[in-house]
Amino acid sequence: MGEDPGRLWRERLIRNHLDLIVLWLLNAKPRWGYEINIEIRERFDVYLSAGTLYPLLHSLEEKRYVEGVWESDKGRGRRIYKITPEGALYLNAGSKAMQEFMRKISAGPGLVNV
């Protein structure tokens, strides 16, 4: 039997819009990479490898959408990321585009009957 189409779509949507999801989470509060990964897993039931998340965080930092600061707490340090004003603008634009997309797709020809 094939994979669950709902799960496949959920994973595809998360991975294709991961930059907006990460910015959305950071807009609520600063977080470190592991915390972002856990939040995505709990909210969307999608597991991201470190090889997926950390290069994205690095890319967002290069674009100045997030800022990372090393924090040392009893031993090993961790990098805490927070959204920047440029990141908030990008998130807002992406959110508006996504809402417009959903509005248009919802008003479309409808679901296929199977």
Residue among 28, 36, 76 nearest 52 (CA):
36
Cβ atoms of 14 and 44 closer than 8 Å: yes
Residue 83 is assigned to a structural domain of this protein = yes
pLDDT tens digits for range 23-71? 999 999 999 999 999 999 999 999 999 899 999 999 999 999 999 999 8
Domain range holding 77? 5-100
Phi and psi at residue 70, in whole multiples of 5°?
-75, 135
Residue 64 is assigned to a structural domain of this protein = yes
pTM equals 0.87
Rg over alpha carbons for the chain, rounded to the nearest Å, is: 17
- Tally of structural domains, the chain: 1
Cβ atoms of 40 and 56 closer than 8 Å: no
State residue 1's pLDDT score: 57
CATH number of the domain within which 37 lies = 1.10.10.10
Enclosing H/E stretch for 81: strand 77-83
